[in-house]
């Protein structure tokens, strides 16, 4: 059986052989230089020894003799044979993975993003048993920094129905039927993750304007007309954004608000929701839950 090396060799094998050839050439040149230096030193030593005149009894100088220097044949340079070390095994998977990583584009620093979003949802006063939320709509504008810090300003309009607690009893009839609420708020939020699904937590503070209308005059001799209140609220928020494309995302937003101060703009002394007893709605905590559609640019 006659075997021969393959006619074609891999690129790695070709590079390995080229490296070995260069190493041999370098070692051969080093040996040549060393032998030339040794030969030159031997020549100089030979001249010093055979051309030196030795003292004798008479002053006559011996006739110069021609010394024939026989140069030893130069042997072929001896290349030291190093112990053949086995070539390290190449992990093909690791090499391919490293090459793919190098081919990936380098991640650039994420720029600051700006966005505008729409909100639709509902408000809720859990401690007001006869106040029912109808609808809440609004919009926000904001900015997202590379550190995932979000600054946002929001306007929301909410409408509530004020229901009678016990029909047939005059003391259970609320003075008004409808509550309109306008929220102007500012929020600072933080995105917990930077992937496509981004949970959000934050704090919010804002101004709330409430307007009561549709007064029920059946039990009242005077018409108070529409009345309104002004309040300042603070609270916290949680949310979740799902990034669908580079410029569009959807999510949810839940805000819990607590009143810190409010003022009425009329002399109507009783609660606008309860006829005789009970706290004013302005003093109660409330929630705002919304679905969010965001456009980034």
SS3 for 34-103 is HHHHHHHHHHHHHHHHHCCCCCCCCCCCCCCCCCCCCCCCCCCCCCCCCCCCCCCCCCHHHHHHHHHHHH
What's the pLDDT score for residue 151?
97
- Highest mean pLDDT of the ranges 52-61, 171-180, 187-196: 187-196
Burial state string for 187-215 with b = 16 or more CB within 10 A and e = fewer than 16: bebebeeeeeebebebebebebebbbeeb
Read off the pLDDT of residues 239-283 as tens digits, 9 standing for 90 and up: 999 999 999 999 999 999 999 999 987 655 556 776 555 678 899
Bridge-based pairing of strands 286-296 and 113-124 is antiparallel
What's the pLDDT score for residue 14?
84
Q: Phi and psi at residue 223, in whole multiples of 5°?
A: -105, 115
> Is residue 191's pLDDT more than 90?
yes
Measured from the Cβ of residue 136, the count of other Cβ atoms closer than 10 Å reads 21
Return d(Cα 257, Cα 237) in angstroms, integer.
Answer: 9
The H-or-E segment that residue 25 falls in is: helix 11-50
What's the pLDDT score for residue 269?
53
> Is residue 217's pLDDT more than 80?
no
Residue scoring higher pLDDT (108 or 180):
180
CA angle, 90 as apex, 88 and 96 as ends, to 5°? Answer: 160
For residue 27, what is the DSSP state?
H
**What is the average pLDDT score of the chain?**
81
Read off the pLDDT of residues 35-94 as tens digits, 9 standing for 90 and up: 888 888 888 888 888 775 444 444 445 555 555 555 555 555 555 545 555 656 656 567
Residue scoring higher pLDDT (269 or 154):
154
Per the structure block, which two tokens stand in for 42?
A: 């031997």
What's the pLDDT score for residue 138?
97
For residue 246, what is the DSSP state?
S
What's the pLDDT score for residue 101?
75
Distances in Å between the alpha carbon of 66 and those of 51, 61, 62, 79, 275? 9, 15, 12, 37, 143
What's the pLDDT score for residue 54?
44
Comparing CA positions, the residue from 137, 18, 20 lying closest to residue 82 is 20
Domains and CATH numbers, the chain: 113-296 (2.40.160.20)
């Amino acid at each position: 059986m006659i075997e021969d090396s393959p006619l074609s060799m891999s690129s790695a094998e070709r590079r390995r052989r080229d490296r070995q050839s260069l190493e041999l050439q370098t070692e051969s040149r080093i040996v040549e230089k060393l032998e030339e230096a040794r030969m030159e030193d031997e020549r100089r030593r030979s001249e010093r020894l055979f051309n030196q005149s030795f003292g004798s009894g008479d002053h006559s100088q011996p006739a110069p003799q021609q010394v024939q220097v026989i140069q030893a044949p130069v042997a072929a340079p001896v290349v030291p044979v190093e112990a053949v070390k086995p070539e390290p095994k190449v992990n093909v998977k690791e090499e391919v993975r490293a090459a793919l990583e190098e081919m990936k584009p380098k991640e650039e620093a994420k720029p600051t993003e700006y966005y505008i979003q729409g909100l639709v949802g509902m408000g809720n006063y859990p401690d007001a048993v006869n106040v029912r939320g109808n609808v809440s709509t609004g919009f926000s504008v904001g900015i997202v920094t590379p550190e995932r810090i979000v600054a946002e300003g929001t306007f929301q309009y909410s409408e509530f129905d004020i229901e009678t607690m016990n029909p047939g009893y005059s003391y259970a009839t609320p003075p008004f039927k409808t509550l309109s609420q306008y929220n102007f708020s500012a929020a600072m939020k933080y995105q917990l993750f930077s992937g496509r699904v981004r949970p959000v937590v934050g704090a919010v503070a804002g101004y709330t304007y409430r307007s009561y209308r549709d007064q029920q005059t059946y039990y009242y001799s005077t018409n108070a007309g529409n009345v309104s209140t002004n309040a300042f609220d603070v609270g916290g928020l949680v949310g979740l954004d799902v990034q669908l494309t580079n410029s569009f995302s959807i999510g949810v937003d839940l805000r819990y608000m607590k009143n810190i101060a409010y003022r009425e703009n009329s002399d109507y002394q009783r609660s606008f929701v309860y006829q005789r007893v009970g706290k004013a709605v302005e003093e109660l905590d409330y929630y705002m839950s919304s679905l969010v559609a965001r456009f980034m640019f």
